[in-house]
Amino acid sequence: MPPTITADQSNLAPPLSTPSVSSAAALSARMDRLPVARHLWVLVFLISLGGFFEVYDLIFTGYIAPGMEKSGLLQTTTEAFFGFQGIAGFIAATFAGLFVGTFGFGWLPDRYGRRAVFTFSLLWHSVGSAFMAFQHTAEGVVLWRFITGIGVGIEIVTIDSYVTELVPQHMRGRAMAFNQMVMFAAAPVAAILSYWLVPTTVLGIDGWRWVVLIGSLGAVVVWFIRRAVPESPRWLALQGRVEEGERVVGKIEAAVERQCGRPLPPPLPAIELPKRVKASFAELWQPPYRSRLIMLVIFNFCQAIGYYGFANRVPTLLIGQGITVTKSLLYSFVIAIALPVGPLLAMLYADKVQRKWLIVGAALAVIVFGLLFSQMKGVLSLIVLGVLISIAGQTISVCYHAYQSELFPTGVRCRANGLVYSASRAGAMMSGFLIAFLLRDFGVAGVFAGVTVCMLIVAIAVGVFGPKTNGLRLEEISH
């Protein structure tokens, strides 16, 4: 049944007194007509600050690995495939926690709200990191890495939906690119801090522990900053909290109108979606969501192996190509600079080129640059190709974070994101063991052969089965 569309020609829609699907549709229509303004960018920036430390936490995994090995805490490779005394076990614990957070707790933001869960998960991550930094056994480090990963997993799911719901459809691609740029600015920060601290001991404490603690303390600071971000009005309306949603939208409208210096355009026609009794897991297995869900599960599993197979092993891969440990950390910092550059470039075209084709093109680019990387020995060529792989990988990241959030309705958006994201976490968890195996038996060339297979599956899954989303309102895509 096609969606019912009703027009409202007033600049500011009148308050709605009864909670209903109509109230959610009306608030969405008001949000979607907003012009791009500084206030919207500020909201995205504040949410992204929380994500900054999420990425910092994920990225330093590879950078602190040499320090953990040097201290005798963990080993580079292990005899057993599932050896939890090695770096692969540490990486696996990270993504096992992320899997539990996304799959097991992805429903929390749909139940309790984007803002509350975002705050909760940020504090969880901060406390978990602090405990991990003071562990002195491999088992203790792996355990607290797993616990920390759960909080990070919940945060990831929440951020994507939060950003998607707070901005109009004509800036979703750019907003997510900006979000990723701010978040991945953490990559060079983690890399340079690791370069300075990992080879040293400060106040009798191993440098890698300082890298972890800095991220933990920073997350606490951001918690105070992000209190200025409102709850998603789309979520509030679906919960029957219409008056709260009205207040949020009213404040956003007033700020945008003030900054634009002209009256806002009339709200767009309200798109009425069918009523649902309650948001449920079963709804995701009904058309059209079922095919989207399967496609994204396959995509997430394979892209995680391809992406983290490189990102979490940059220093190790450079060492495998003949670079010393100290220089590998320095060169990794140079490569890491490209991580926020990729999203910055994506802001130029994220809303102009279909996101599905950007994902396909970037996946093919990772294949080409990765195979070239595996054949190079010169420092300059390794750095240039490493940067190009990072930019291509970040293009995939920017596009799919926006893409998978668009494909599901507000009532089950976080639940669906959590489910498909859990496949990514499972893939990333396996990547540590798989890359260690390929590196041990086949060298750097074997690593990128595995990456090639995964990225080919990514390109086929999205290119053949992914729907188009650019410029469409969330309600249109949901239907």
Q: pLDDT tens-digit profile of 399-430?
A: 998 899 899 888 888 889 888 988 887 787 77
- For helices 413-465 and 289-311, angle between their N-to-C axes, nearest 10 degrees: 80
> Which percentage of the chain shows pLDDT scores above 90?
28
Asked if 57 contacts 183 with a C-beta cutoff of 8 angstroms, the reply is no
pLDDT at residue 8, as a whole number: 40
Asked if 406 contacts 175 with a C-beta cutoff of 8 angstroms, the reply is no
pLDDT at 255 exceeding the cut of 90: yes
Which of the pair, 41 or 62, is modelled with greater confidence? Answer: 41
pLDDT at 13 exceeding the cut of 70: no
Asked if 158 contacts 117 with a C-beta cutoff of 8 angstroms, the reply is yes
Instruction: Give the range with max mean pLDDT: 31-40, 63-72, 215-224, 327-336.
Output: 31-40
Distance CA 251, CA 10 (A): 17
Distance CA 223, CA 119 (A): 7
Read off the tokens for 425: 């976490």
- Find the mean pLDDT for residues 211-227: 81
Q: Of 179, 197, 144, 187, whose CA–CA distance to 308 is shortest?
A: 187
pLDDT at 253 exceeding the cut of 90: yes
CB-based contacts of 161: which residues, under 8 Å, 6+ apart? 109, 114, 232, 405, 413, 414, 417
Which of the pair, 286 or 335, is modelled with greater confidence? Answer: 286
pLDDT at residue 313, as a whole number: 58
Confidence of residue 223 (pLDDT cuts 50, 70, 90): confident
- For helices 138-166 and 172-184, angle between their N-to-C axes, nearest 10 degrees: 150
Chain mean pLDDT for the chain: 81
DSSP 8-state secondary structure symbol assigned to residue 4: E
pLDDT at residue 367, as a whole number: 86
What domains sit in the chain, N to C, each tagged with a CATH number?
16-266+281-470 (1.20.1250.20)
Asked if 37 contacts 251 with a C-beta cutoff of 8 angstroms, the reply is no
Out of 55-69, 91-105, 118-132, 308-322, least confident range:
308-322
Q: Which segments of 134-241 does DSSP mark as H helices, in order? A: 138-166, 172-184, 186-197, 207-225, 233-238
> Which percentage of the chain shows pLDDT scores above 70?
84
Distance CA 65, CA 1 (A): 54
pLDDT at residue 166, as a whole number: 94
Confidence of residue 264 (pLDDT cuts 50, 70, 90): very high
Read off the tokens for 287: 């058309």
pLDDT tens digits along 433-448:
777 777 777 776 777 7
- Length of the chain in terms of residues written: 479
Task: Give this prediction's pTM.
Answer: 0.79
pLDDT at residue 146, as a whole number: 92
Q: Is the dihedral of CA 177, 246, 414, 100 positive or negative?
A: positive
CB-based contacts of 37: which residues, under 8 Å, 6+ apart? 255, 256, 259, 260
Cα of first residue to Cα of last residue in the chain, in angstroms, is 9
pLDDT at residue 314, as a whole number: 61
Which of the pair, 338 or 236, is modelled with greater confidence? Answer: 236
Single-letter amino acid code for the residue at 192: I
Strand partners, 202: 205
Distance CA 223, CA 49 (A): 9
pLDDT at residue 6, as a whole number: 39
Read off the tokens for 193: 């801090």
pLDDT at 198 exceeding the cut of 50: yes
Out of 136-150, 253-267, 345-359, 420-434, least confident range:
420-434
Asked if 132 contacts 141 with a C-beta cutoff of 8 angstroms, the reply is yes
- Find the mean pLDDT for residues 318-336: 62
For residue 473, which phi and psi values (nearest 5 degrees)? -75, 155
| Cα separations in angstroms, 19 against 232, 424, 446, 473 | 16, 36, 57, 22
Out of 38-52, 78-92, 460-474, least confident range:
78-92
**Largest Cα–Cα distance in the chain?**
69
